[in-house]
Amino acid sequence: MSLDTATVRRIASLARIRLEEEEVGRMQAELNGILGWIEQLQAVPTEGVEPMAGGAPVSSDAGMRMRADEVTDGGMPEKVLANAPDRMGDYFGVPKVVE
């Protein structure tokens, strides 16, 4: 499986990373090198095998814990906004979205 340049541009767009025209070729070659290498996994029989994440099967309760759905924190707009690149009152500022 080899990615063409259109696919590389589409992935960059999905990833929200601006890719300059002259960067596409090199990115394509590197991605294809990596994907060609990970392709060997397809040879491993995994029928009936349960997927796993962290230290436990994905389906088990051992890996994850639920907590009560209640507010435990909040009321600190100054802290939340302290690192904002652009702040408007108690809001994050962004370029105009709606004309």
Partner 1 sequence: MHPTDFSLRGALDALAEGIISSEELTRAHLDAIGRLNPRINAYVTVMAEQALAAARASDERRRQGIVGPLEGLPLAIKDLFCTDGVPTTAGSRILGNFVPPYESTVTANLLRDGAVFLGKVNMDEFAMGSSNTTSAFGPVENPWSRANDPDARLVPGGSSGGSAAAVAARLALGATATDTGGSIRQPAAFCGIAGIKPTYGRCSRFGIVAFASSLDQAGPVARTVEDCAILLRSMAGFDPKDATSADLPVPDFAAACTRGVKGLRIGVPKEYRLDGMPAEIEALWQQGLEWLRAEGAETVEISLPHTKYALPTYYIVAPAEASSNLARYDGVRFGLRVAEGASDLRDLYERTRAAGFGAEVKRRIMIGTYVLSAGYYDAYYLKAQKVRTLIRRDFDEAWRKVDAIVTPATPSAAFGMDEKQDDPVTMYLNDVFTVTANLAGLPGLAVPAGLDRQGLPLGLQVIGRAFDEETVFAVGAAIERAADFRAVPGLRAGA
Q: Does 86 bind partner 1 (CB under 8 A)?
A: yes
Q: Restricting to residues 26-45, which ones interact with partner 1 according to CB under 8 A?
A: 27, 30-31, 33-35, 37-42, 44
Q: What are phi and psi of 56, to 5 degrees?
A: -150, 160
Please report how close the Cβ of residue 38 comes to partner 1 at its closest, in angstroms: 4
- For residue 24, state whether it binds partner 1 (rule: CB under 8 A): no
Beta partners for 88?
91
Which of 58, 60, 77, 88 is in the footprint of partner 1 by CB under 8 A? 58
- The string of DSSP codes covering 36-76 is HHHGGGGGS--TTPPPEETTEETT-SSS---------S---
- Least CB distance from residue 24 to partner 1, whole Å? 11
- Residue 11 interacts with partner 1 (CB under 8 A): yes or no: yes
Element (H, E) at 92: strand 91-92
